[in-house]
Structure 1
Amino acid sequence: MKKYKIYNILGLLLVTSIFTSCDFETAEQDPSDIVSPYNKPTVTITSDAGTVINEGETVTYTITFDKPIERSVTFTPSIGGTADDHDYSLEAVTLQPYTTSVEMPIEVFEDYEIEGQESLSIQIEILGIAERYLVHPDTVIEPIELQINDYVDTNKLIINFAWGTEDDFDILTYSDTSTYPETLWGNGGATSANPEIDSSIWLDDPAGTYYVTILDWGTGTDWDYTFTLGFPDGSVETITGTFDGTNYPYSSFMGPSDWGSPNAYKILKVENNGSSFVVTKL
């Protein structure tokens, strides 16, 4: 019996030793790393331009991660400011998996509408809820503030003609130079728009006098008008007045015969010396 007791005691000690060894080895193992949100990529945005641009230019913003990830992230611009959506082109962009940058271009269109300096305020956002958790939790994307200057044509007189009624009025330009006396020069301001815009008088046209005329299609009323003039040197001049549609105290040209030969009343005189324009209200 003694022999069996000794064997039993030895067996118990062996089993105890095995369990103790297993616990020790388990205690020696390092736990798995917990995934930290602070290991996610940070976002930076840089630009190839300043904060003031001109119509006709494109500014490019580059959105950059400091490390690639295996998921795509879409950046969407939220837009404010005084510029209209027809003045520019700007779309959401997506940073693709395993890449670290994507470009977001802003194209500002050139036109001859003289609007003065406009603003564009852009907040770039990650709208997808799941996508927001893919970037560093402290990510703050600062808003982009741009000022947009009118397009300047260094060869042309830009004429914007506006009025405050629902009627349709037009402007025509005429030359009265030694080369082209009393000649219809431009009809770009004869559309259904308000303001009407004309750019037919150029510095490299024959030197001399040109006229801006108003076509009044028989309203028989007086109405206020505003001419906003853009010069080749970038300066702007505003001329206002009231059109006397009752007495018509103006000199005039005969308008195009295929338009019914309307009267084209002289409103502005433009002197072109080949290097600059001088505009006078008549």
Structure 2
Amino acid sequence: MKKITKQFIFSALSMTALLFVGCQEEPELTGQSTVEVAQNVTGTVQFVAPLAATQTVNEKNEGKYQYKLNITNAQPVDIYVKVKLKSGTATRGMDFDFDDQLLIKAYTTSVTGNISILSDGVFEATENFVLEIGGDVNISNASIPATTVSFTIVNALSDNLDLKFNFNKSFSDGSVTKTLCGIGYDMDFYVLDANLKDTKIYQAAASGCPEILTVTPAKFPNGTYHIYYDLYDNHGLHTMNTPEFTIPISVDYSRGGSNVSGSFNQEAKFATTSKALGYEQGNTSEPFDYVVTIIVNNGVYTLKNSVPTTVATLKTANTVLNTIKQARMNNKK
């Protein structure tokens, strides 16, 4: 009986020691899950130059405007701030765009917002819009008073004149209806200067149907320019079962931001016919002629025919033929 008592006491002491050691090894976690939330947080909007509370901008000067939204104390949670379109006649996505929600990430104190002015190249009256930043946040202990920013957008006139040279036409090859563009009829348009020299501007000599030319201040300084067509390849049109017909050329013109556009028709006396052979058919002498004259004067573009110029006379000179031949060699299709 005495032996059993001693053994029991030893076992109990051993168990107590184990429990004591186990309690000593358990880490102290008191207070580790506490989240400190700052109270009475306030926010302010700081405009980044050139942005101001109110401004008038030209649509041509499209770009991004920025501002910073700052809060006085960082928070342990994300803060979402709304940006609203308050009023205006401008169209979002066409005339302007903006970040409609700002996120101040947890443990940070600021975020950058963006407002973009867009150029749509369409003639429009002066437009405007007003944005409201803040005034609506997602946590009760933060206050960001609403700040407004307003824009007036003035219509922009493009620096460029866009030209489209049309020469497509439907015709019948026996009982089959075809088009010039469909058979690959290839007419190039070369730009000559006032002295009928090659300007090496070959944008409208690229096998397109129609051909496109953009008149820019960089490539077309003040001066007079004459446009000549060159029949590069008639793709067998002259051998098809169709009566001879005239191939008139028209020039569609437009300028971004302007309400002025229209079409200029080539004078009939310079038009070619379906029987004319192209350069690819071995005709190296006369598969070309005059189309239109462009006068550039400090951003003003004027289209004229041959009457007020000397083009009608000069076109028969070897100067033009030699210029066209040289242009064909320089132009790499």
TM-score normalised according to structure 2 size? 0.43
TM-score normalised according to structure 1 size? 0.48
